[in-house]
Amino acid sequence: MHQESAALNLKPLEALIVTLIILGGISYSIIFAGAVPHIPVVFAIMGLIAYGLIKKVSIAQLEKGLIEGAQSGLGAIFIFFFIGMLISSWMASGTIPTFIYMALEAVNGKFFYAIVFVVASVIGMSIGSSLTTAATLGVAFMGVSSALGLSDAITAGAVISGAFFGDKMSPLSDTTNLASSTVNVDLFEHIKTMAWTTIPSFIISLAIFAVLSPSEAASDFSKIAQLKKTLLDEGLVHWYSLIPFAILTIMAIKRVSAIITLSAGIISALILAVFVQNSFGFEKVMSLLFSGYASKSGSEEVDALLSRGGMESMMFSISMVLLALSMGGLFFKLGILPALLEGIKGVLNSVSALVASAAGTAIGINFLLGEQYLSILLTGNVFREPFEKAGLHPKNLSRILEDAGTVVNPLVPWSVCGVFLSGVLGVETADYLPFAFFCILSPVITLIYGFTGLKIEKIEKKAAV
């Protein structure tokens, strides 16, 4: 986090004590009190302000720290607004429903776990939400698994692995946008960089799920068939509905800016929606882009899957980003982050130590706070400058934030994702954890890259004129 200067010069031990008190309070509030993360973060900001006043820091400087911290997240906020509109427009144009239908077509009794993993991956990428994927299609897969007499724990592991692969690699995902914007990396460059660790994790996971799957099985796939029928009956499945995705892909490959690329995806989808929807006037367009797409198919599963998007849906993420970054701004202004870095600079003397420390911090925050947003934001802000000073490109850090932050959260029993997933899938976190292969492999592979130097890119130095 770049600010002009810290107001205090703290000793590392004092900074560590303040940090543990703040994070401990947030952790207790989220885990034991079940608080939405925004509220304990607000109280943490109040506590830091009080600490600053006790240390004779002026209120003007404290306010400046808050503002400077929040300003660093403005890029993410603009992207989040566009992502919300893209999701709702792609629902209306049939782009996302068509992807879902194509994925469901692949489900059969053979190699069940492997197919569940692949389908969950495709749908996770299509909608950019791991939890929505698990809460809708994941529940359907659990029902089919029970009918087949297969392992609920392995099926849950396949659903979660696929859902988080899709979430991680989707340009529609809030965590993907958050990780890239936290360290100022282009969204599509971030996704491209993640592929170096994510694809090996995907391939290994797929191979394991294929080995674990029965070679043949027979069962009633009525739930899957009903989902497909509902999508067809709603008139949302068309080959031409994939045009917005093709446009977005081409522009991303050509490295067009994220704002322009997302705008093209939105506009092309709105044009298609005129042909897909029965009535699609100006008033409906305005409502769609702000409030999101509302499915009224009569199927609870389909409606839950498709009723998403809109600017309004991103307010949770946006407010979390602003609050967490404001808190980070105070951590810097009060000299807490600089003191912590000073305390650990002795071990940050190599690329492998930097990678391991960043990954360990992201994992530790997940276990301490149970919140993936904070694991991305806090780790990104702490290690951004050390990575730059080491001459490492920030996209290395953004990849670590996802490899050790985003996908680790469902492995923590008391985390937001862990509690949610065990509830909707009916499988305890400890039971599915050994089979969430993708979530386990991602941080392991990112550590291997760090220790070997594989695909660790450095900042290109400009030649002297």
Model confidence at 221, in pLDDT bands (50, 70, 90)?
Answer: low
- What's the pLDDT at 400? 94
- Is residue 152 packed enough to be buried (19+ CB in 10 Å), middle (13-18) or exposed (0-12)? middle
Task: Give the whole-angstrom CA distance, residue 323 versus residue 215.
Answer: 50
- Tell me which range, 128-137, 214-223, 240-249, is most confidently predicted by mean pLDDT: 240-249
- What's the pLDDT at 131? 77
Tokens of 442: 């991602």
pLDDT tens column, 304-331: 778 878 888 878 778 877 887 788 788 8
Across the range 382-411, mean pLDDT stands at 90
What is the SS3 string spanning the chain? CCCCCCCCCCCHHHHHHHHHHHHHHHHHHHHCCCCCCHHHHHHHHHHHHHHHHHCCCCHHHHHHHHHHHHHCCHHHHHHHHHHHHHHHHHHHCCHHHHHHHHHHHCCCCCCHHHHHHHHHHHHHHHHCCHHHHHHHHHHHHHHHHHHHCCCHHHHHHHHHHHHHHHHHHCCCCHHHHHHHHHCCCCHHHHHHHHHHHHHHHHHHHHHHHHHHCCCCCCCCCHHHHHHHHHHHHCCCCCHHHHHHHHHHHHHHHCCCCHHHHHHHHHHHHHHHHHHHCCCCCHHHHHHHHHHCCCCCCCCHHHHHHHCCCCHHHHHHHHHHHHHHHHHHHHHHHCCHHHHHHHHHCCCCCCHHHHHHHHHHHHHHHHHHHCCHHHHHHHHHHHHHHHHHHCCECHHHHHHHHHHHHHCCHHHCCCCHHHHHHHHHHCCCHHHHHHHCHHHHHHHHHHHHHHHHCCCCCECCCCCCC
pLDDT tens column, 420-462: 788 778 888 889 999 999 999 999 999 999 999 888 888 765 4
- What's the pLDDT at 290? 93
- What's the pLDDT at 194? 94
Model confidence at 118, in pLDDT bands (50, 70, 90)?
Answer: very high
- pLDDT surpassing 60 at residue 220: no
As a whole-number percent, the residues of the chain with pLDDT over 70 amount to 91
- What's the pLDDT at 68? 85
Model confidence at 2, in pLDDT bands (50, 70, 90)?
Answer: very low
- What's the pLDDT at 108? 64
- What's the pLDDT at 447? 94
Task: Give the whole-angstrom CA distance, residue 105 versus residue 88.
Answer: 23
pLDDT tens column, 174-213: 889 889 988 888 888 999 999 999 999 999 999 999 999 8
- What's the pLDDT at 308? 78
- What's the pLDDT at 439? 95
- What's the pLDDT at 1? 47
Closest alpha carbon to 52 in 15, 2, 7, 3: 7
Report the alpha-carbon angle 277-170-212, nearest 5: 110
- Long-range contacts at 289-292 (CB < 8 A, ≥ 24 apart): 289/85, 289/88, 289/89, 291/88, 292/84, 292/87, 292/88, 292/91
Report yes or no: 205 and 441 within 8 Å, Cβ to Cβ.
yes
Domain ranges of the chain: 12-74+315-406
- pLDDT surpassing 90 at residue 47: yes
Tokens of 89: 């427009």
Across the range 258-272, mean pLDDT stands at 89
Higher pLDDT, 138 or 195: 195
- Tell me which range, 15-24, 78-87, 158-167, is most confidently predicted by mean pLDDT: 158-167
- pLDDT surpassing 90 at residue 402: yes
Across the range 256-268, mean pLDDT stands at 86
Higher pLDDT, 161 or 28: 161
- pLDDT surpassing 60 at residue 147: no
- pLDDT surpassing 60 at residue 129: yes
